[in-house]
Amino acid sequence: MFDKYTIGKNIERIIKRWGLKQQSFAELIAPEMNRFKISSYVTEGSKPSVEFMIILRRLTGLEIEQLFLGEVDVEEIPPEPIAEQVFQDLQSQYGINMEEAPESEALADRVDAMEAELRALKAEVQSLRDRLDGQ
């Protein structure tokens, strides 16, 4: 059963695991976000937006259902944001020898695939929202 404070507790665990302050975490999610919004999720039980949840899923690798419906064990949370690590790995891989970077067509194909996955995730989130609203 959905507990409006579960997502807040899980967000708080993620912030602590990554050693961040609420403001730094907010900026990681989106440049225009602030700590007050994060605080509303953590302390007031406000429901995060679909976009927020998709970004949080990408950064943690955790399923949205798990973030909303169950307490996440600290060991399930990666020690640092996944997307950030992927970026650093790519930067390391291609930063030394940019001639080996993938061609722009290959990058465009990867972006298209990511956009398709994002659309699927949004549909999944909407389905979850519909189920939660029905409870």
**Mind listing the pLDDT tens digit for each residue in 47-70?**
888 888 888 888 898 988 888 888
**Predicted structure pTM score:** 0.62
**Structure confidence by residue, pLDDT tens digits, 62-99:** 988 888 888 899 999 999 888 655 555 555 655 544 44
Domain ranges of the chain: 6-133
Is CATH 3.30.460 the classification given to domain 6-133?
no
* Torsion, Cα of 105, 106, 107, 112 (10° steps): 90
Instruction: Tell me the C-alpha distance between 32 and 135, whole Å.
Output: 32
In a 3-state reduction of DSSP, which class is residue 81?
A: coil
Distance CA 11, CA 17 (A): 10
Asked if 27 and 60 touch (Cβ cutoff 8 Å), the reply is: no
